[in-house]
């Protein structure tokens, strides 16, 4: 049996492939049953966009951007191929493919666990994966998380094997395989493109020599580059800018580095609440974490000058559009209204008598948000992304206090116990299927919340207590940390999905080896980490409990 002190891969027990495949088959069966139960659900949110892009690709023969985003082409390409092959059943075919591909996630989860914590932990990790409802639910949704994880995790596993076995005679093959898997995953989701650089750097010190380390790291980067370059060249041809796969940075900066707080776990829920005349979730939120602090008085004139300039430019551009036969730019009107309102408030502030109403300053500074760059100011999606990113960074610099507070909120958003499964239940997307039935809806929703609650707490405890070898500790730390860093821009429960299998491994490790934990420091660290997670749940508790109570537990029509 492995002990955490060893965590060493090669010297362990032989891998019981039969058992692992059996558990993986059970997981696939559970996901298949879920797919059969819910059937071919109607398209929601980005699902429809992927289908649109797939149909357009088939019709026109190339890939369109999404106006504000330039997603990597992988998922839309798959959708296009599937629709081409299976017609209207193409969407269902992709879901079946996702169910099958989820076996890769399950197997990799167990392989991580068997290498780090032994066979018993692997079995436990496997069964947790089988029963982890929020992860399973993604196999019957047309989001790319399942296929992304099915490629990303095996790549990560190969990196861990490289880091564990310095003199591994299969190092070249492992590196190429890791590169192919990671590059494949990047075609589905570009967010970990910088993580590849981190992973390459991690390989170097564990290769048994600097030269060999550099050889492996450079090979990994070359494999990924060779896979990514053709699409980057295509983007260079179309947009005049080398974008390796895609870019969401600008729009994410608009959403995440701006005045209005946005969390896509809650946006469709608030739309639905508005439709049903229910108060928005913002009415109960803890606003300390996202209010934008007032602008210091001495900066007001500078802001007003900037706003005047921006308004004037927008109005001129708008007039030119109208003269060319187009419609007026709605931003010009919005900016003008903002300028008038702020000018009125500024006049009040310049009165010799100090205004008695401090809210006026808050109101004045309460609209410092920025508007998206739109044509004709920008030409294409790549340029729009650049301008929006620059605006977002400027906004964050101007509001450092807000930035720090709101990132705590973003951290809470990514670690929130809700998931797309509970969001679907709250929005009634499962209504009409057995999952939407009153009792089943309540039970499955409770289960879907229990899964991340248990795995997050145990996983974090596992990282601080039972993960003791440096390679695994670094690899898991860098990967989990990298995905947490995405909260520097935007956050929602979906963004943590690729890290869930790693947390499951750590949770299984702590279940099996918690008795071997020695030393107060580790225990104190684990307790502090768990407390931090509980604190983050407390931040999102008002909205989550409101949605769960009013939209999941008791329905609107109850």
Partner 1 sequence: MKHLPVILRWAPHVALLLLLATEYQLGRSAALPREELEVLLDEGTARQKTWAIHILANRGDPTDGPLNRTYIQNAIMDSDPLVADMTYMVDLCRLLQPSRQEKRLSVRFDDPDKAQDKLEDWFRRFEFYRRKVGGRPLGGSLRLKQQEVQWLLHVLDGGELDEDEVISYLERRQAGTNSARMHRLAPNRKRDKDKDEKGSTGLVPDR
- Rule CB under 8 A: which residues touch partner 1? 40, 42-45, 47-49, 51-53, 55-56, 58-62, 64-68, 83, 87-88, 91, 172, 176, 215, 218-219, 222-223, 225-226, 229-230, 232-234, 236-240, 268, 271, 274-275, 321, 324-327, 375-376, 379-381
Give least dist CB 32 to partner 1, A: 21
> Is residue 501 within 8 Å of residue 109, measured between CB atoms?
yes
- Residue 7 CA to residue 206 CA, distance in Å, equals 15
Q: What are phi and psi for residue 70, nearest 5 degrees?
A: -130, 90
Rounded CA gap, 270 and 137, in Å? 22
Complex with partner 1: residue 87 or 477, whichever CB lies closer: 87
Residue 8 or 321: the one with the smaller Cβ distance to partner 1 is 321
Q: Which residue in 4, 1, 121 sits closest to 516, CA to CA?
A: 4
- Residue 366 to residues 1, 342, 362, 369, Cα–Cα distance (Å): 60, 10, 5, 8
393-to-387, 389, 403, 487 alpha-carbon distances in Å: 10, 6, 10, 14
- Measured from the CB atom, the residue of 194 and 242 that comes closer to partner 1 is 242
What phi-psi label fits residue 372: left (phi over 0), alpha (psi between -120 and 50 degrees) or beta? beta
Report the nearest approach of partner 1 to the CB of residue 234 (Å).
7
With H, G, I as helix, E, B as strand and everything else as coil, classify residue 105. helix
316, 380 contact by CB (below 8 A): no
User: Judged by CB, which is closer to partner 1: 39, or 358?
Assistant: 39
Question: In the complex with partner 1, which residue's Cβ is closer, 115 or 384?
Answer: 384
- In whole angstroms, the minimum distance from the beta carbon of 184 to partner 1 comes to 16
| 2 vs 423 by CB, closer to partner 1 | 423
Length, in residues, of the chain: 558
> Which lies closer to partner 1 via its Cβ, residue 110 or residue 196?
196
Alpha-carbon torsion (45, 49, 54, 56), positive or negative = positive
Cα separation of 402 and 295, whole Å? 11
- Pick from 467, 518, 482: nearest CA to 113: 467
Q: Cβ of residue 175: shortest distance to partner 1, in angstroms?
A: 8
Q: How far is the CB of 369 from partner 1 (least distance, A)?
A: 18
Q: Which is nearer to partner 1, 322 or 532 (CB)?
A: 322
By C-beta, is 19 or 225 nearer to partner 1? Answer: 225
Give the dihedral of Cα atoms 73, 77, 78, 79; nearest 10 deg: 110
Q: How far is the CB of 223 from partner 1 (least distance, A)?
A: 6
CA atoms within 13 A on the CB side of 127: 8
Closer Cβ to partner 1, 239 or 537, answer by number? 239
Helical axes 210-239 vs 381-398, angle rounded to 10°:
110
Choice between 114 and 207, CB closer to partner 1 = 207
The gap from C-alpha 197 to its chain's centroid, in whole angstroms, comes to 19
CB closer to partner 1, 205 vs 268: 268
Cβ-based neighbours of 186, under 8 Å, separated by 6 or more:
72, 192, 193, 196, 224, 227, 228, 244, 245
Minimum CB–partner distance for residue 222 and partner 1 (Å): 4
CB of 502 to partner 1, least distance (A): 29
What is 266-306 written as a DSSP string?
THHHHHHHHHTTPPPGGGGS-GGGTPPPPPPGGGHHHHHHH
Work out how close the CB of 290 gets to partner 1 at its nearest, in angstroms, rounded to a whole number. Answer: 22
Q: Interhelix angle for 171-186 vs 210-239, to 10°? A: 30
Q: How far is the CB of 415 from partner 1 (least distance, A)?
A: 25
DSSP line for 434-489: GGGSHHHHHHHHHHHHHHHHHHHHHHHHHHHHT--SHHHHHHHHHHHHHHHHGGGT
CB of 59 to partner 1, least distance (A): 6
User: Minimum CB separation from partner 1 for residue 88, in Å?
Assistant: 5
């Amino acid at each position: 049996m492995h002990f955490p002190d060893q965590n060493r891969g090669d010297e362990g027990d032989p891998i019981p492939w039969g058992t692992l495949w059996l558990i993986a088959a059970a997981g696939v069966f559970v996901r298949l049953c879920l797919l059969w139960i819910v059937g071919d659900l109607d398209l929601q949110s980005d699902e429809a966009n992927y289908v649109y892009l797939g149909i357009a690709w088939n019709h026109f023969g190339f890939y369109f951007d999404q106006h504000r985003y330039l997603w990597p082409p992988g998922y839309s390409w798959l959708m296009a191929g599937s629709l081409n092959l299976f017609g209207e059943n193409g969407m269902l075919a992709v879901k079946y493919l996702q169910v099958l591909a989820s076996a890769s996630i399950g197997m990799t989860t167990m392989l991580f666990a068997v290498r780090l914590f032994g066979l018993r932990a692997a079995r436990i990790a496997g069964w947790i994966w089988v029963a982890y409802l929020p992860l399973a639910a993604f196999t019957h949704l047309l989001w790319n998380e399942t296929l992304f994880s099915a490629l990303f995790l095996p790549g990560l596993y190969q990196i861990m094997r490289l880091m564990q076995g310095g003199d591994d005679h299969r190092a070249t093959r492992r590196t190429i395989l890791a590169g192919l898997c990671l590059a494949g995953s990047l075609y589905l989701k570009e967010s970990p493109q910088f993580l590849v650089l981190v992973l390459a750097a991690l390989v170097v010190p564990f290769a048994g020599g600097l030269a060999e380390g550099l050889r492996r790291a450079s090979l990994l980067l070359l494999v990924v580059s060779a896979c990514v370059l053709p699409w980057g060249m295509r983007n260079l041809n179309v947009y005049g800018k080398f974008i390796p796969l895609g870019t969401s940075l600008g729009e994410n900066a608009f959403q995440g580095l701006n005045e209005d707080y946005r969390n896509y776990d809650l946006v469709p829920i608030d739309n639905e609440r508005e439709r049903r005349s229910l108060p928005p979730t913002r009415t109960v939120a803890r606003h300390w974490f996202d209010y934008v602090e007032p602008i210091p008085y001495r900066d007001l004139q500078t802001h007003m000058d900037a706003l005047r300039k921006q308004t004037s430019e927008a109005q001129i551009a708008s007039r030119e559009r109208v003269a060319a036969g187009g419609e007026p730019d709605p931003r010009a009107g919005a900016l003008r209204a903002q300028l008038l309102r702020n000018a009125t408030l500024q006049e009040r502030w310049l009165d010799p008598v100090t205004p008695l109403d401090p809210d006026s300053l808050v109101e004045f500074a309460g609209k410092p948000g920025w508007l998206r760059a739109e044509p004709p100011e920008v030409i294409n999606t790549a340029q729009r992304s650049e301008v929006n990113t620059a605006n977002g960074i400027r906004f964050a610099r101007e509001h450092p206090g807000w930035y720090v507070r709101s990132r705590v909120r973003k951290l809470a958003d990514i670690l929130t116990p809700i998931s797309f499964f509970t969001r679907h239940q709250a929005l009634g997307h499962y209504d009409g299927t057995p999952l939407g039935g009153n009792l089943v809806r309540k039970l499955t929703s409770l289960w879907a919340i229990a899964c991340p609650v248990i795995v997050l707490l145990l996983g974090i405890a596992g990282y601080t207590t039972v993960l003791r070898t440096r390679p695994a500790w670094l690899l898991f730390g860098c990967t989990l940390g990298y995905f947490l860093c995405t909260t520097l821009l935007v956050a929602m429960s979906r963004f943590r999905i690729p890290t869930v299998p790693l947390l499951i491994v750590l949770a299984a490790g702590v279940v099996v080896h918690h008795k071997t934990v020695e030393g107060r420091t580790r225990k104190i660290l684990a307790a502090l980490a768990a407390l931090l997670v509980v604190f983050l749940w407390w931040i999102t508790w008002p909205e989550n409990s409101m949605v769960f109570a009013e939209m999941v537990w008791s329905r609107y029509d109850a």
